[in-house]
Structure 1
Amino acid sequence: MSGLTIAISGFIAMCTYLVTSRMIPRFKDMFINANLYGKDLCKRDQPQVPESFGVLIGCAFLVAMFFFIPIPVTFEKAAMPDVQTGAKPATFPHEEFAEMIAALLSICCMILLGFADDVLDLRWRHKLLLPTIATLPLLMVYYVNCNITTVILPKFARPLFGYSLDIGIFYYIYMGMLAVFCTNAINILAGINGLEVGQSVVISASVLCYNFIELAQRHQMDCHKFSIYLMLPFLAVSLALWKYNKYPSQVFVGDTYCYFAGMTFAVVGILGHFSKTLLLLFIPQILNFLYSVPQLFHFVPCPRHRLPKYDPKTDLLHISTTEFHPRELNILGSVMVYILKKLKLISWKEQSDGRVITNNFTLINFVLVVFGPVHEKVVTQFLLGFQLICTIFAMIIRYPLASCFYDT
């Protein structure tokens, strides 16, 4: 029956794509009339573009999932043997049903909190706290259903610690941190047309490929079916949104979509039991986070917005900069800047008064540091291409190379 339920999920996803594609342009004026719009600063005429469309996309995803929820339940009931025949009745999948409801609850919470961020412009400390709170229902269901906190160790560590190690509460801390990372990682690698949605499309398609490979090998089938049920409609609504968000953007997604996408990935990674593989698919986001650490934690001055600068004369993007005096940095900040400077990962321009001008530490600005001023569309294509290359690399790590460290 699993093949049929996946096919029905795919059919619902296709219908959702068609409906969402028709719905987005019809809501543009409504968002503008509600003052939910912004200027596209990377265009000569700086047009008004409706933003926070992530809330509409999140609602479309939830409606699709609400239509799908009865499907696996109905087929489970249909698959139960008749008691009158004397066969032992099958057990209703209460655990799987609870996981689905908890997953949608966490995703729904992040859509709400993301929209609140778009409207109220929350502080960074709230952006770190809110995903943690939204993950609590998910972690509680995980605790009640399986409570597996054991990790399989690589071969080189087994002589010291054994085949596996139970890390207890630290596993839940890790899962909570995973949710915080996923929701914010997409949000900080953003700001140019199509990038947030584009990277989410590549990641979700990669997750689906991984799920189908694992199903073909009959590994943890229930977990990967659960992931497919969530990823198919997510990919559908994301493709519909990307159609209008790619260069030149007709709508902006807002923080709502970034939180919605990140929590959806965290949900399938946690309840699908492949959180380590999920992190492999987030290699560009991890690199962007590590590169951004000096500014995110204020070891180096961090402006409110770190988007690249737009030159209307050439229609090209240039690096955005921050300025400081080396004496203003603490020891750790000085070490970080020294390492980045020596590795030529940042620009460095010294002023006559001793102050320094350098680029903001984001992957978008790093592309501009390496290749110089380029068009916005080219930057997006480069970063999405890099995302795809990292996905291929992740699959190589997950399959051919994993056998060197783990039992196959």
Structure 2
Amino acid sequence: MLTTTVSLTLTSVILLALVIIFNTVHDPLSASIGFSILGCAITWRLVPVLNDSFLKANLAGKDLNKLDKQIIPESMGVVCATVYLVCLFLFIPFPFMEWFTGKGIISHTEEFQKPTFPHHKLGEFLSALLSLQSMTFLGFADDVFDIRWRDPYNYANTATVSVWTVCRLGMVAVFCTNSINILAGINGVEIGQSLVIACSIAFNDYLFLNGTDPAVEAHLFSLYFILPFIGVSLGLMMHNWYPSRVFVGDTYCYFAGMTFTVVGILAHFNCPRHRMPRFNPTTQKLDYSRARLQKPLGVSALVILKIFSSLSLVEITELENSIEVNNFTLLNLLLLKFGSMNERTLTIKRNND
């Protein structure tokens, strides 16, 4: 039973989330934040309520890293994933609200107006939800039936024999889900690493929401999926953090990995650009290469540079209209730390480190 204080706090949080959602109908990003808060509160409340049901269904496991080897509920990731999917299903109309209210009508001629509803965006959104739902089901099936480790690989690539693009997507999905699962076994580590990744993605998306970048829509799409994920993961982590009262199971690992897959693919994220070290023909050695950033820099960029500088990860040179910094790659960092060296030495240094 919840104490009066906790019950009032939970009710207040839910009401706050509903107020944000209904007062920001035409601002999908704000509505997404509201759904994130709502998902966090509901997940936090549902997990302890369903504990006994999971134990009765034999969805339980031993906490092997404790002396008493306590039996606690497992596969609670399905609760987190279900709340997440419900929140996203309810969120579907918000990114398209301007078309529902007539603001999305564009005049193609002076006499004729035609609705230009972005069906391709809706299709991407629904395909993302279908992928997440399917992988959540697979993860829960893995928890219930203890599927062998190689079977999910076969499942993910079943219909990809003749379609190379789909095959690659399947491999990305398998990689992402198993990269979360590979560290499982310690209280809170699956959710912990997932939250670090998700918050990093959200922060990166925020940096691109300046209104001038052509990829704004893609980063908004990413935030619509990442923010509720952060919310429901926080709600579950409160019960999974050391000492865990529940286990998240393979369901959460599959769900988290597929969320990152969906965001990475459908949000059209670009890979980082390659920045080679600079060859000095006089010394016949390699020096670190530099990038020039035009002033004025945004507040976020300045904060990041100051943090990197305090950690000795970047060397900043102030110029009249710009700032020069070393390129952010491991090879350039080694050259910054240890000085110029020939290519063979740099290769050995990189492999040893």
* Band the TM-score falls in, shorter-chain normalisation: 0.5 to 0.7
Give how far 1:127 is off: 2.3
The reply on whether 1:73 has 2:96 as its aligned counterpart is: yes
Residue in 1 that maps onto 2:87: 64
Q: What is the CA distance between 1:393 and its match in structure 2?
A: 12
Give the conservation status (yes or no) of the 8 Å contact 1:77–1:92: no
Q: 2: distance between equivalents of 1:39 and 1:275?
A: 42
1:6 to 29, 36, 48: 29
Structure 2 equivalent of residue 100 of structure 1? 125
Provide the TM-score with structure 1 as the length reference. 0.57
Find the counterpart in structure 2 of residue 261 from structure 1.
Answer: 256
Equivalent runs, 1:54-203 vs 2, <5 Å:
54-78=77-101, 79-81=103-105, 86=111, 88-133=113-158, 172-203=166-197
Matches within 5 A, 1:3-402: 4-78=27-101, 79-81=103-105, 86=111, 88-133=113-158, 172-216=166-210, 218-274=213-269, 276=271, 401=327
Pairwise CA distance, 1:71: 1.2
Q: Is the 8 A contact 2:218 2:267 kept in 1?
A: yes
Higher Rg: 2
Distance in 2 between residues matched to 1:275 and 1:258, nearest whole Å: 24
Q: Which letter maps to 1:4? A: D
- Give 2:188's aligned amino acid: G
Cα offset, 1:213, TM superposition: 0.9
Which residue identity is paired with 1:401? N
1:263–1:395 distance in 2 versus 1, CA, 3 Å = farther
Q: What is the deviation of 1:74? A: 2.1
More off after superposition, 34-43 vs 84-93: 84-93
Match of 1:344 in 2: none
Q: Match of 2:135, SS?
A: helix
Report the CA distance between 1:3 and its aligned residue: 8.1
| 1:131–1:183 Cα contact (<8 Å) kept | no
For residue 247 of structure 1, give the secondary structure of its aligned residue in structure 2: coil
Q: Equivalents in 1 of 2:178, 2:144: separation in Å?
A: 17
SS class of match (2:72): strand
Point out 4+ residue stretches in structure 1 off by more than 6 angstroms: 82-85, 392-396
Q: Which residue of 2 aligns with 1:284?
A: none
Identity of aligned residues (%): 44
Q: 1:401 to 1:87 in 2, by over 3 A?
A: farther
CA spacing shift, 1:10–1:93, aligned 2, 3 Å: same
In the alignment, structure 2 segments of 5+ residues that lack a partner are 1-23, 273-307, 316-324, 330-353
Q: How many residues align?
A: 257
Comparing 188-197 with 266-275, which one deviates more in the overlay? Answer: 266-275
Find the residue that maps to 2:208 and give its secondary structure.
Answer: helix
Partners of 1:274 and 1:58 in 2: CA distance: 24
Code of the residue aligned with 2:150 in structure 1: it is R
User: Secondary structure at the residue paired with 1:190?
Assistant: coil
* Deviation (angstroms), 1:89: 3.6
CA distance in 2, matches of 1:266, 1:393: 32
Q: Superposition RMSD on alpha carbons, in Å?
A: 3.3
Deviation at 1:189, TM superposition (A): 1.5
Partners of 1:51 and 1:400 in 2: how far apart? 47
More helix by share: 1
How high is the TM-score relative to the length of structure 2?
0.66
| Cα distance in 1 for residues equivalent to 2:224 and 2:254 | 19
In the alignment, is the contact (CA less than 8 A) between 1:215 and 1:224 conserved in 2?
yes
Deviation at 1:237, TM superposition (A): 0.5
- Cα shift at 1:56: 1.0
Match of 1:110, SS state, is helix
Q: Deviations over 1:300-338 (max 9, x none)?
A: xxxxxxxxxxxxxxxxxxxxxxxxxxxxxxxxxxxxxxx
